[in-house]
Structure 1
Amino acid sequence: MTLRACLSLAISRGFLAFLLATSLFGAWNGRAAQAAQTADPRVERIDPVLRDGRLELDADVSFVLNDQLRDAAQRGVPLYFTADLVIKRSRWWWFDRTVVNTSLTWRIVYNALTRQWRAGTGALSLPVTSLDQAMEQVRRIRNWQVGAADQFESGVKYSGQLRVRLDTSMLTRPLQVNALNSRSWSPTTPWTAFTFAVARPAR
């Protein structure tokens, strides 16, 4: 084999290796970006429903805890998650009118002595088997009563926004300071918009 042929073969093999490396890097980078996007908290579904004379909200939220938060929770640090909800009615002659501005907070805590997880809202706290089961309360919002039905006129379009966040304002002061300097302690979903109208009652 001549020197020119050997050189040409070496260049061809080097080029093929470069293409393979580029392809593998591109595929890995795409999977990494997809995984990062999947891990970002987000609101996936919002469903306002009238039940028993009240407007209730059902929602599905994708909220994966990072390793730092999981470790803190397993060490007994209480974690608080808050859902913020705003519902407005547009008015062409003036600013939009806020009909609902409310929030719902969950508390998740692990007792190292009893080795028991508890999760709940307000004064209601129930035992759960694991941190993931506790997080299901945050990820699957059901029957959240947000207002009386008579606050909403039938046939009128209302616009709302919902987000869910780790509520750092309820952490201890040292952890609040840490949260200000660490992205791991500030997971939140973007504000997610939705619209709805209350159906006119059947005659």
Structure 2
Amino acid sequence: MLLALALAPAFAQVGGPSNAEIVQLKAERTDEGVLLSATLRIDLPPVVEDALAKGIPMFFVAEATLLRDRWYWYDKHVAMAQRHMRLSYQPLTRKWRLQVSSQPIGSSGLALGQTFETREEALAAIQRISHWKVADPSDVDPDSRHNIDFRFRLDVSQLPRPFQIGAVGQADWNINASRNMRLITEPAR
């Protein structure tokens, strides 16, 4: 029994630390649809901070999936929403730029953008998600129970190839958090 207690922390850290945590998660059903608000805590590892300081953008993705409970099979996917965020540092102007889009942000840069003076201000904008519409009102069946799966992660697949290869198996590039919650079916007033 002592051996099991001693090995439990080692097995818990096999995936490595995630460097992200969902501090608060709230979903409400309104006349506009299902709105999600979240507060995150993100600790950028030194490797990620160094890459950002050299002008390499980091791509973050927030995903919300609305699921309807079913007793006879897996829960049914009712709706899904994604929010893609591109954080970059401009060394010449010494400004931080955050672009947000519902689609993956490519090299075209067609996304809502905002400029910040400091890294902390830009990260604060990433860490707060407020009244994000994740489903339409018609997606929610008032007679069924629904769950919301929320996930936030660093999308290493959009990094330059040398960083993708170097990120494999390294816990420093593991920035993700997820949580599941029950949706209250009574509309908010």
Q: Normalization by structure 1: what TM-score?
A: 0.74
Residues 1:77 and 2:67 are matched in the alignment = no
Which of 176, 181, 184 lines up with 1:194 in the alignment? 181
Q: Aligned residue for 2:74? A: 95
Contact 1:155 1:199 in 2 (8 A): no
The amino acid of 2:71's aligned partner reads W
Instruction: Structure 2: state its 5+ residue gaps.
Output: 1-16, 102-110
Deviation of 1:52 (Å): 4.7
In 2 relative to 1, CA 113–200 (structure 1 residues): closer, same or farther, beyond 3 Å? closer
Flag the structure with larger Rg.
Answer: 1
The amino acid of 1:85's aligned partner reads A
Residues 1:165 and 2:144 are matched in the alignment = no
Residues 1:129 and 2:117 are matched in the alignment = yes
Instruction: Structure 1: state its 5+ residue gaps.
Output: 1-36
Same amino acid, percent of matched pairs: 25
In 2 relative to 1, CA 115–144 (structure 1 residues): closer, same or farther, beyond 3 Å? same
Q: Deviations over 1:77-103 (max 9, x none)?
A: 101111122221111233321112332
Higher strand share: 2
Contact 2:147 2:183 in 1 (8 A): yes
Looking at structure 2, the residues matched to 184 and 93 of structure 1 have their Cα atoms a distance apart, in angstroms, of: 40
Larger RCO, structures 1/2 (Cα 8 Å, 6+ apart): 2
RMSD: 2.2
Contact 1:154 1:197 in 2 (8 A): no
Deviation of 1:171 (Å): 0.6
Higher helix share: 1
